[in-house]
A and B are shown apart, each in its own frame.
Chain A
Amino acid sequence: DDCIQFTRHAGDVLLNFNRLRSRNILTDVSIQVDGQLFRAHKAILVACSGFFYSVFMDPENASLSAISLDPKVDPKAFSILLDFMYTSCLNLNDTVVVTTLNTAIYLQMEHVANTCHRFMKSRSVQ
């Protein structure tokens, strides 16, 4: 048997999920971050964040349709990480990298946190 692999499939699926998010189609949770509301798909949040995995794998929380994060979480950093979840692009710059690192640690996204750390070291070196 042959397996025909569509090499673009993973990226095309994620792009469609981001289209669904921007049209608010099948989004099933509202995340409140310091007054700002973000609509998202629980499955994407759980797939990308250890924090959301532990929250929604708890049977008591599985049907939650709204969750508010610790007020110390920065909305701008959260939106950068949410966009990363849906696009694979992490939009870093010197002004957001520290809060994005802290928020990635809070959301238990250690690979992203490591990347933020390397970004900071490279910039301070230059």
Chain B
Amino acid sequence: YEGVNTIKEMGRSIHEIPRQD
């Protein structure tokens, strides 16, 4: 992406699906 500065987010990005409900 031209002209876009990329910030690295090191944390978790999405929810975690449980091993079983």
A110 and B14 CA atoms in complex are apart in Å by 8
- Chain A 78-106: CB-based contact to B (< 8 A → 1; otherwise 0): 00000001001111000000000000000
The residues of A that contact B19 with a CB separation of less than 8 Å are none
- Chain B 1-21: CB-based contact to A (< 8 A → 1; otherwise 0): 100101001011111010001
Query: A-side binding surface: helix, strand, loop or mixed?
Result: helix
Is A115 in the interface zone, CB < 8 Å from B?
yes
With A47-B14, A48-B15 known, 11 other A-B pairs at CB within 8 A are: A49-B15, A53-B15, A53-B17, A89-B6, A91-B4, A109-B15, A110-B15, A111-B14, A111-B15, A115-B9, A115-B11
A residues with CB within 8 A of B: 46-50, 53, 57, 85, 88-91, 108-112, 115
Question: Could you show 11 A-B contacts with beta carbons less than 8 Å apart?
Answer: A46-B17, A47-B14, A49-B15, A50-B15, A53-B15, A88-B13, A91-B1, A111-B11, A111-B12, A111-B13, A111-B14
